[in-house]
Amino acid sequence: MTRASQTISFALLISSLYLACFLGLIPFSSKIQDEVIPVLPFWAIVSFGAYLLFKLGYGVFTFNDVPEAHKELMEQISRARTELKAKGVDVD
């Protein structure tokens, strides 16, 4: 199974479970059915966004802890500066 088909299968499973809960096919108390289940998609989107922001921030915070990537990036920057200077572009 490819990664895309796994993702599609997981999304279909989650959406069908949510739809079954939303339509009342899976019985819950009336408070959960009326107040919790309708806002689950918004909660999932906000939680996923918070997770991605944390992951991005942590990656920026620990960037210097990856010496190989830092070294490679600095080499690419110096190579780009050299190429641009050869073409007559001021990069200072």
pTM of the model: 0.60
Both 28 and 54 in one domain: the answer is no
**Residues near 4 by beta carbon (within 8 Å), at least 6 away in sequence:** none
pLDDT, averaged across the chain: 92
Both 46 and 81 in one domain: the answer is yes
Both 3 and 32 in one domain: the answer is yes
Rounded distance between C-alpha atoms, residue 11 and residue 18, angstroms? 10
- Cβ atoms of 65 and 58 within 8 Å: the answer is no
The Cα-based distances of 47 to 30, 34, 62, 86 in angstroms read 25, 21, 22, 48
pLDDT tens, position by position, 13-56: 999 999 999 999 999 999 999 999 999 999 999 999 999 999 99
Which candidate, 45, 47, 25, 21, places its Cα nearest to that of 34? 21
Count the alpha carbons within 13 Å of 31 in the hemisphere toward its beta carbon. Answer: 0
Full residue range of the structural domain in which residue 47 is found: 39-91
The number of folded domains in the chain is 2
